[in-house]
Structure 1
Amino acid sequence: MTFLARILEEKRTEIKTLKQTYRSTAVQRKPISLYGRFQEQKQLQIIAEIKRASPSKGMINPDVIPAEQAEIYETAGAGAISVLTDTPFFKGTMDDLAAVREAVELPILNKDFILDEIQIDRAADYGADVILLIVAALEKERLQALYQYAKSKELDVLVEVHDEEELAQAQELGANIIGINNRNLKTFEVDLGVTERLIEKIDTSATLVISESGMAVPEDAARVAKAGAKGILVGETLMRASEVSSVLKSLQVPVGAKPL
């Protein structure tokens, strides 16, 4: 069983419990638009991630204090913050997201494996502005339903793809934010060439492209920026960094920059 299959199996169990115990607070809050903030920028925008652990790397930074990390990210110039809220595999919680929401004024991505509308309700209640929908994790009809539901709540949706077939599904949705994950979910190998290959099939003047995974050094950021990405999602590199601010700033290359 792949990591993704194991995660989704666990997530379905979590959702059953959530439906029995969670009641939406229906908080009235105007979400901040990630698309609006990123699309017209001339500098590569960083979605800085708070991630304690991962299935492939184990514990990364178990002692992180989310609110403090988020403030460091914001001060360093991050364009948005991603908060991993899956507990069994990534050691995150929804309380992490709530703490970050109180600490910063940036758009916040609820990074989780969303399979049901109740997770979108919860994300909105806890202060998320953006949710993640992974094409590889959803049947076509579910993907469409969840996308429309999130949009009805005025949330932005980062639709994550890994190959041409998944990209076609995202484009059929009319997704205006597409995340290209450079990590193979079966082998966990990372190849920035995935972004370079898929972005050629995207109208980047209308669609915001976020390159995900494999962003370790400025050369990586420059490579995907040259290809046309307007943003990158950076997790492990920042979570392991001793000088978070300087590492984040080093990745803020000009959009369209030639590789260093």
Structure 2
Amino acid sequence: MNVTYLDRILDAHRAAAANDARSLDSLMAEIAEMPATRGFRRALDEAEGIAVISEVKRKSPSKGDLFPGLDPAALAQDYARGGASCLSVLTDEEWFGGSVLDLQAARAATGLPVIRKDFTVDARDVVDARLMGADCVLLIAAALD
């Protein structure tokens, strides 16, 4: 059997989730205290013409570094000036070089809604996305049980 990048990435994320002892209920209680999300779907619906989701991505497993010295805030501002409807920010550290700080910097730099692009394998991953400031979360069908 051929093991793909996706297989290895998902195995690592599933192992991390299995070792996460945090209570989902306590995490959900934290979300209840947060301000409302920016309307990701609304931003797409209200776009003039075609809606664009612009991505903040440092590297990929197959291509290596894509943008050495990336400044997520500056890139987010460039995307907003260019007419992006929403931002997609990679937060996977090991494989894509992203981070929670990348998402937070991009979100703070504009008023655009932000989707967390990562490998969501557990309900706590969805809650974590919200806690870090994401307005939306990407789900990859192959990652879900």
Written as runs of structure 1 = structure 2, the 5 A alignment for 1:159-198 is none
Specify every segment of 5 or more residues in structure 1 that has no aligned partner in the other structure, as ranges.
Answer: 140-260
Aligned to 2:94: 88
SS in 2 for 1:102: helix
Q: CA separation of 1:124/1:112 partners in 2, compared to 1, >3 Å: closer, same or farther?
A: same
Aligned to 2:43: 37
Aligned to 1:50: 56
Separation (CA, whole Å) in 2 of partners of 1:97 and 1:55: 20
Written as runs of structure 1 = structure 2, the 5 A alignment for 1:41-190 is 41-139=47-145
Separation (CA, whole Å) in 2 of partners of 1:123 and 1:84: 11
Separation (CA, whole Å) in 1 of partners of 2:48 and 2:129: 30
Separation (CA, whole Å) in 1 of partners of 2:128 and 2:113: 16
Write the deviation string for residues 227-259 of structure 1: whole angstroms up to 9, x where unpaired: xxxxxxxxxxxxxxxxxxxxxxxxxxxxxxxxx
Higher RCO (CA-CA < 8 Å; seq separation 6+)? 2
Specify every segment of 5 or more residues in structure 2 that has no aligned partner in the other structure, as ranges.
Answer: none
Write the deviation string for residues 137-179 of structure 1: whole angstroms up to 9, x where unpaired: 212xxxxxxxxxxxxxxxxxxxxxxxxxxxxxxxxxxxxxxxx
AA partner of residue 125 (structure 2):
Q
Aligned to 1:2: 4
SS in 1 for 2:94: coil
SS in 2 for 1:133: coil
- How far does residue 131 in structure 1 lie from its aligned partner after superposition? 0.4
Moved over 4 A (4+): none
SS in 2 for 1:68: helix
Aligned to 1:15: 17
Aligned to 2:34: 28
- How far does residue 69 in structure 1 lie from its aligned partner after superposition? 1.0
Is the Cα contact below 8 Å between 2:44 and 2:86 reproduced in 1?
A: no
Separation (CA, whole Å) in 1 of partners of 2:79 and 2:19: 33
Separation (CA, whole Å) in 2 of partners of 1:79 and 1:110: 15
Separation (CA, whole Å) in 1 of partners of 2:82 and 2:141: 32
- How far does residue 13 in structure 1 lie from its aligned partner after superposition? 2.5
Q: TM-score, normalised by structure 1?
A: 0.50
Q: CA separation of 1:117/1:60 partners in 2, compared to 1, >3 Å: closer, same or farther?
A: same
